[in-house]
Structure 1
Amino acid sequence: MRFHFFTFLILFFWGFAFPQEVLDRIVAVVGDKIILESELESQYLLYSSQPGTNIKDPQEERRIKERLLEQMINDKLILIRAEQDTLLEVTAEEVENAVEQQIKSLKEQFPSEDAFTEELLKEGLTERELKRKYRSQIKSQLLMEKLISMKLSGVGISSREVRDFHQAYKDSIPEQEEAVRLSHILFSFTPSTETRDFLSQKAEVILKRAEEGDDFASLAGVYSDDPTRERGGDLGFFKKGDLLPEFERVAFSLDSGEVGLAETNLGYHIIKVERKTDSLVSARHILISVRPSSEDSARTWSEADSVYQMLKAGGDFTGLAREFSNDEESKKVGGELGWYPLKQLEGELKDAIIPLKKGEISRPFLTEFGIHIVKVLDRQSERKITLEDDWDTIKEMAKRKKTNQKVMEWLEKLKEKYYVEVRLEK
């Protein structure tokens, strides 16, 4: 996990879920490929949802959409060229590894895996479907990356070019932002064995009532933690692969009118099959979510305070992070999170860090991810970037500019080679 403060990335799914109806317009043609208005709108919504973005008028919206469409056209040109290059190959293993990494990164944007799964279900997706939708997109992306890497492999930067770049742009190079290097210990709220046992017993009681003939829709309206309770738990028809595998195994094993119990990472599901065909099942369900109880929350706060007292008494932060943190990624490196510009931090995290000096530790505080204890490993003041202190940074800027120039020159040649038509309405 990393600290990501953002609106949930539902827009990340938008590109998959956007209805491409008959009325969907073509806004650009690139070679034998098209760009739809829905795809452009998806990119615009992703852009406009970024923190700090404030689009003031229709003219600005128009200019942004034109820039986004230009980038989408460039991507199509590169993809066409990559698909025609017989020396480029993307293996199935490379695609699967990239898909898994993308899903992992997406999950890190949510407080828990359960929250991620819930959001997928709201969008009418399962993780399996999301991976399937990602595969062709990621394969194309990998092809493009390989082609660009091959085209730019010979681009280097000399010391003279670094100095010339700095001389030309030193007044416009942004200052080094005030930043902090952080380490943390995360205490997640998790349900105890006692809580799980209690909720399991509750599910068994409801299952028994359903088996004895109580009206299932009424039971769902009273007991279900799922939004479908508003319609008596009705899920409609679904096929294999639409829902969670554990849920489907039980649902497809039941006959019409039968009820059963399934456990998933969302909790316990009491399932009643309404109708079945050869490949489809229509069912209702009651979800008993497995969530931490107030006693579980109190236990977690107590554990966090206990670790905080150890730290105050001189305990080693790195060792305690490895032992107690529920952040599986950062605990491997003793809780270290890396550098963060101070202005990018928000809410409780920023409030906890502002008064801390280098080496100091915060009291336990709450965020959407759980309880944190944060240590400021280092601080960096805002200052001007200089050749003497920031040679590598300036060198990277100079190389990036040179690389961008090469890419733009290459794209101009591709535009001469392949047909491009823009149909964006004026």
Structure 2
Amino acid sequence: MKKLFACLIAGALLAGPALAQQVEPIDGIAAVVDEDVILRSELDRAVANIRAQYAGREEQLPPPAVLERQVAERLVLLKLQVARARDTGVRVGDQEVDQAIAAIAAQNGATVQQLAAQISADGLDFDQFRDSVREELMIQHLRNRFARSEIAVTEAEVDTALQAQAAGGPQYHIAHILVGLPEGATPEQIRIAQEKVEGVKALLDRGEMDFAAAAVRYSDSPNALEGGDLGWRSLGEIPSAFAQMVANMSPGEVTAPIRGPSGFQLVQLVDVRDAAEAAPQMVEQVRASHILIRTDEGTDPAAAKAEADTLHARLVGGADFAELARTNSQDVSSQADGGDLGWFVPQQYGPEIATAVTALRDGEVSEPFRTSAGWHILKRTGTRESDVGDQNRRAQVREMLGRRKLEDRWERFVRELRSEAFVDLRTASAGGPQAD
């Protein structure tokens, strides 16, 4: 299967029991997370999966006890995010899971049946795979809610980023190591973190370890096991605290420790390229129409779902989509146009719309699916390769800036979840039960 499928399998294995083989009747507990647990078998499989990803590069991994602790922490964070999603009312139904799996299969040039066969051939359980997809969708919804309430991008910021793109200039491939600090850190915690980051910097300066290996071993960032890689960014996308430093560095150089809102960071400039070498401006757009039945506090969810199902049945029976949209859709912005949403890139209207439209062929109509706005029925009407116009370019830049802001804010939010939770780690590196 394609790389995307491999990445999904890797992520799902790390997410807990979702892709696990059947748990043995007697299984140990690796961690207690509030009212949930991480089983020893879950942790062992997740660690084995990380080792498989580093096959041939085992020297980059930390000692077994440290790796186990890192992976356990990842599993803890995933449990906490799923729990917070549930507590805030995030629900993912079977239809949304089915649509996501159909999209995964389509992106890998396979049918759902072929995907299931591949999962079975790998010795994994398809029902547990579904559970993993459901949990990932829940976390996506939680992130989207967080972004809508916490992240704002101004038109001035978009203008500045567009001007930087038009002027060309370099893009920077950067990576980081984070030595985290809790909210309201004490002077002693700050001193210990500073000594740690300075010790890591000394190791790098002496050439005793390369940056990616140090990130895997010492970083508290969620991307530590990816070597701290932050990808390619223009100067305007790099936090101002160290943007000018990066601009004056040569590939391979590492900054001195930098104090930020999440802790101390070391930033490496991996490489530099001209912006003209970046991805082309041609994008794939789709055209679609939809019918929306809204759900809110005054709406019976079951009645809204029933209305969407009735409309879908009429469409299956040959009713005209545009006419039904004009007479029944509750999206005032598209109702008069027969539900037409125009041309857009799949992610423009959020992950649920993107998942549904990606799973369709031109001319096909989706099953009813739910978003935060209500129940949708989507019809994909066209596909094209298009040069990104000014409006779409602005939308893409706005999304990119919002995503960069979200990275840091979301990381702090997850760290707050961790600091507020009861976590009892029972890994070897924790020396047995250890609550915090």
> Could you say which structure has the greater relative contact order, defined with CA pairs below 8 angstroms and 6 or more residues apart?
1
Q: TM-score, normalised by structure 1?
A: 0.39
Q: TM-score, normalised by structure 2?
A: 0.38
Structure number with greater Rg is 1
